[in-house]
Amino acid sequence: MDKPAITKLVRELTIAEKAAICTGRDFWNIGGCDRLKIPKVCVSDGPHGLRRQENLGDYLGVNQSIRAVCFPAGCATASSFSRKTARRLGETLGEECQAMSVSTILGPAMNIKRTPLCGRNFEYYSEDPLLAGNLAAALIRGVQSKGVGTSIKHFLANNQESRRMTNSSEADERTLREIYLTAFEIAVKQARPWTVMCSYNRINGTYASENPLFLQRILRDEWGFDGYVMSDWGAVNDRIKSIQAGLDLEMPGPSLSNQQRLIDAVEQGTLSETTLDQACERILTIIYRFTEGLREPEPAFNYDRDHAISRQIEEDSMVLLKNAGGILPLDSRQPVAFIGQYARAPRYQGGGSSHINSYRVESALEAAAGQAKVLFAEGFHDDQDQGDPKLVQEAVALAQTAQAAVIFAGLPERYESEGYDRTHLNMPENQNQLIEAVAKVQPNTIVVLHNGSSILMPWLNQVKAVLEAYLGGQAVGAAVFNVLYGRVNPSGRLAETFPLRLEDTPAYLSFNPRSDISAYREGVFVGYRYYSSKNQPVLFPFGYGLSYTEFRYDGLSVDKKDLTDQETLHVAVNVSNIGQRPGQEVVQLYVAPPQGQVCRPVRELKAFDKIFLQPGETGTVSFALDQRAFAYWSEARQDWLVESGAYQIQICRHAALPLAAVSVFVHSTAPRFRPYHLNSTFGDIMADPAAAAVLQAFRSQHLAQGGLLGMTDAPATEPDSQSVAQSAISEDMIAAMLRDMPLRQLQSFGSVGRAELEQLVEELNQSRG
Instruction: Find the catalytic residue in 232, 248, 565, 688.
Output: 232
Q: Where are the alpha helices (DSSP H) in 703-753?
A: 721-739, 745-748
* CA atoms lying within 13 Å on the CB side of residue 111: 25
User: What counts of helices (H) and strands (E) characterise the chain?
Assistant: 23, 26
H helix or E strand, kind and range, residue 16: helix 15-21
* Apex 688 CA angle, 686 and 694, nearest 5: 70
Q: Which of 232, 270, 267 is nearest to 249 (CA)?
A: 232
* Apex 675 CA angle, 670 and 676, nearest 5: 115
Q: Are 492 and 518 in contact (CB under 8 A)?
A: no
H helix or E strand, kind and range, residue 367: helix 364-368
Q: Is 232 a catalytic residue?
A: yes
* Apex 649 CA angle, 646 and 651, nearest 5: 155
Q: Are 368 and 344 in contact (CB under 8 A)?
A: no
Please report the DSSP string for 90-141 in residue order. HHHHHHHHHHTT-SEEE--B------TT-TTGGGS--S-HHHHHHHHHHHHH
- Its sign, for the CA torsion 634, 640, 644, 650, is positive
- DSSP-assigned letter for residue 331: P
- Alpha-carbon dihedral of residues 214, 217, 222, 227, nearest 10 degrees? 70
Q: Which of 187, 182, 181, 195 is nearest to 86 (CA)?
A: 187
Length of the chain: 769
Q: Are 478 and 367 in contact (CB under 8 A)?
A: yes
Q: Are 319 and 490 in contact (CB under 8 A)?
A: yes
H helix or E strand, kind and range, residue 652: strand 645-654
Active site residues: 232
